[in-house]
Amino acid sequence: AQSVSQHNHHVILSEAASLELGCNYSYGGTVNLFWYVQYPGQHLQLLLKYFSGDPLVKGIKGFEAEFIKSKFSFNLRKPSVQWSDTAEYFCGNFGNEKLTFGTGTRLTIIP
C-alpha cells in the first residue's frame, strides 16, 4: 500500500524566515504528488502538484516543491514566510485511484 510521511508535525517560524516542510512517499510505480493547504476555518486547497517534467514545481503564494526521485521526497519550500501562511499543510500521492495523504504539518508563523 502507498504511504506518505510528513515528519514535521508542528513548525513554528518568525515572519521572513525560510520554510522547508518534508514529505516522503513510498514507491508505488507512479508518482503524482500534491501539496494541499488548509487555512484556519477553510477547506483544503491545492498549492501545487507534480507528475512529470521539471522536478522543481512552482505553486501559488510563492511556494515551490522539488521532486527528488533518489530520495523519494517532495519537500515544500518558501523563501520568506508571512503570518498569513499559518495553516496546516498536507502532502499527498495519487495512486491506485486514490489520494494518500500524510499526517500533515501545522505551521505557525509568529509576527
Residues lying near other proteins in the complex (CB under 8 A) are found at 4, 6, 30, 32, 34, 36, 42-46, 49, 51, 90, 92, 94-95, 97-104
Least Å from the CB of residue 100 to other proteins = 7
Least Å from the CB of residue 9 to other proteins = 8
Toward other proteins, which CB reaches closer, 59 or 85?
A: 59
CA distance linking residue 59 with residue 33, whole number of Å = 13
Toward other proteins, which CB reaches closer, 91 or 109?
A: 91
Q: Which residues are CB-contacts of 107 (< 8 A; sequence separation ≥ 6)?
A: 10, 11, 12, 13, 19, 21, 81, 85, 86, 87, 88, 89
Toward other proteins, which CB reaches closer, 43 or 111?
A: 43
Least Å from the CB of residue 19 to other proteins = 19
Contact between 21 and 6 under an 8 Å Cβ cutoff? The reply is yes
Judge residue 42's burial from the number of C-beta atoms within 10 Å of its C-beta, 0-12 exposed, 13-18 middle, 19 or more buried.
Answer: exposed
